[in-house]
Amino acid sequence: MSNTENRTEFGSTLGFILSAAGSAVGLGNIWKFPGKAYACGGGAFLIVYLIMVAVIGTTVMMAEFTIGRKTHKGAVGALRELNSKFAWIGGLGVLTGFIILCYYCQVGGWAMYYIVAYITDVQTVWADPMAYFLNMLGANGFPLGAIVWAFVFLILTAFIISHGTAGIEKMSTILMPVLFVLLIGLMIRSCTLPGADEGLKYMLHVDFSTINGTAILTALGQAFFSLSLGMGVMITYASYLSREDNLVSNTAIVCTLDTLVALFAGFMIIPAVFATGIAPGMGGAFGFATLAGVFMAIPGGQFIGMIFYFLLFFAAITSSTSILEGCVAFLNEEKGIDRKKALVGLSVILFIIGVLYTLSQAFMNLKGIWISRNGIEFPIFGDFLEYLTDRLLLPLGAFFTTFFVGWIWGPDNSIQEATGEGRNKFALAPAYKFIVKFIDPIAIGAIIIAGMVFGMAIS
């Protein structure tokens, strides 16, 4: 059953760009990227990452944008319309999105928890940053705070979605510019700290001996996660675009903005970590426990820390809304469920899973079922979900999407849509055709298989 009569559209091109960039810019850029860039060798990783974005990221995004705008349908309906045998690719994407949302809302809740902590009780956070972080996760009892804040985060996400594209557009148009300004301010502050130059050197020094299979797979998974690819979200967003919008420039702008934010975040966090001599550490604790050490050590750290968590929260909510929108569009268009009912139902299920997720982390904390990464112990479950989505499901989604465009729907149809039936220029169309047909499926497929065969370590 399909229910697409009363579809809304984005009000303006800028609104779409900021919304798509809002989806892309998220916890992936600010919470994940700096830690991965640090762990995978700094400068060399940045180069590998930039190549992944420029060659694979942009073409997968273009593929998703063209599928979405061509059909004006959410992920599943769009693929079904182009070829009914391939609707499952969209279904895989919706499922991946749902899994990501389960932990995304939790981390969004952590950001809110820390905003409040920095305003009201920063001395306790700073007294023992790691203990504070684990305490929030339930190391010493019921993790009520984490659950409540994740709930608030989820409700806010659902509230914004309840206003459709207008809600998403309005939020992104306000929050994205604020996020940019805050981030640049924090980056300048960090890079001018005494001792920050060591961190800058680390981020700019290119030593390719640090690049191994794990680093390449990490860069690829990170690129997909960061650009919101491989799960049909960009298909759904582009389905709300009108024929007048230029998909070529939109792809370039969204990829550039997302990558700039990741780089800014890297150049905000790593120099500060070096300047303060805090062991960087990795995993979920990076943006919370490790950075507490950094904020504690710099003048005005309480205020700067609070701004940072606002930033993280803005980034998270503009992304969580996009994932939830993808799931709601699926239930509405494919199952004929009323948008409001779909939203309430999904929110309840996400809340229950979220509580179980938080409690399982608390349980593992209590039982000590952790893994150790770079000296930091971390509960396994969160890592497992991240591993499953970033290492497997997102690359798989992107693989099937490019295979579909390259070999089933056909790159010429995609290019036709990208240029708005010849209305706008697409100088790189021949390169796009070649990459989407050959490079993307082969490179993504090879990296997925290598990851499975060699069982690359979590980084």
Q: For residue 378, list its beta bridge partners.
A: 371
Q: Which residues contact 116 (CB under 8 A, 6 or more apart)?
A: 149
- Of residues 92-121, which lie at the interface with ligand PFF (CB under 6 A)? 97, 100
Q: Which helix (H) or strand (E) holds 379?
A: strand 376-379
| Stretch binding ligand PFF (CB under 6 A), from 61-69, 117-125, 162-170, 226-234 | 226-234
Among 71, 276, 322, 361, interactor with ligand PFF by CB under 6 A = 322
Query: What is the spatial distance between Cα 169 and Cα 186, in angstroms, rounded to a whole number?
Result: 26
For residue 291, the minimal CB distance to ligand PFF (Å) is 17
Query: What is the spatial distance between Cα 455 and Cα 452, in angstroms, rounded to a whole number?
Result: 5
Q: For residue 370, list its beta bridge partners.
A: 379
C-alpha 117 chain-centroid distance: 25
Helix residue ranges per DSSP H, 368-439:
380-386, 394-403, 411-418, 429-434
| Stretch binding ligand PFF (CB under 6 A), from 130-138, 221-229, 345-353, 420-428 | 221-229
Q: Is 323 in the site for ligand PFF (CB under 6 A)?
A: yes
Please measure the distance between the N-terminal and C-terminal CA atoms of the chain and give it in whole angstroms: 43
The mark string for 4-43 relative to ligand PFF (x by CB under 6 A, - otherwise) is -------------------xx-xxxx--------------
Q: Is 328 in the site for ligand PFF (CB under 6 A)?
A: no
Query: What is the spatial distance between Cα 264 and Cα 87, in angstroms, rounded to a whole number?
Result: 37
Among 133, 225, 240, 403, interactor with ligand PFF by CB under 6 A = 225
| Stretch binding ligand PFF (CB under 6 A), from 60-68, 138-146, 225-233, 448-456 | 225-233
**Directed axis angle between helix 144-161 and helix 164-191, to 10°?**
130
Q: Is 222 in the site for ligand PFF (CB under 6 A)?
A: no
Nearer to ligand PFF, 106 or 319 (CB): 319
Among 106, 135, 157, 226, interactor with ligand PFF by CB under 6 A = 226
Q: Which helix (H) or strand (E) holds 370?
A: strand 370-373
What does the radius of gyration of the chain's CA atoms come to, in whole angstroms? Answer: 21
Q: Is 327 in the site for ligand PFF (CB under 6 A)?
A: no
For residue 426, the minimal CB distance to ligand PFF (Å) is 25
Query: What is the spatial distance between Cα 46 and Cα 33, in angstroms, rounded to a whole number?
Result: 10
Q: Is 183 in the site for ligand PFF (CB under 6 A)?
A: no
Nearer to ligand PFF, 36 or 70 (CB): 36
Q: Given the rule CB under 6 A, which residues bind ligand PFF?
A: 23-24, 26-29, 97, 100, 225-226, 228, 231, 233, 319, 322-323
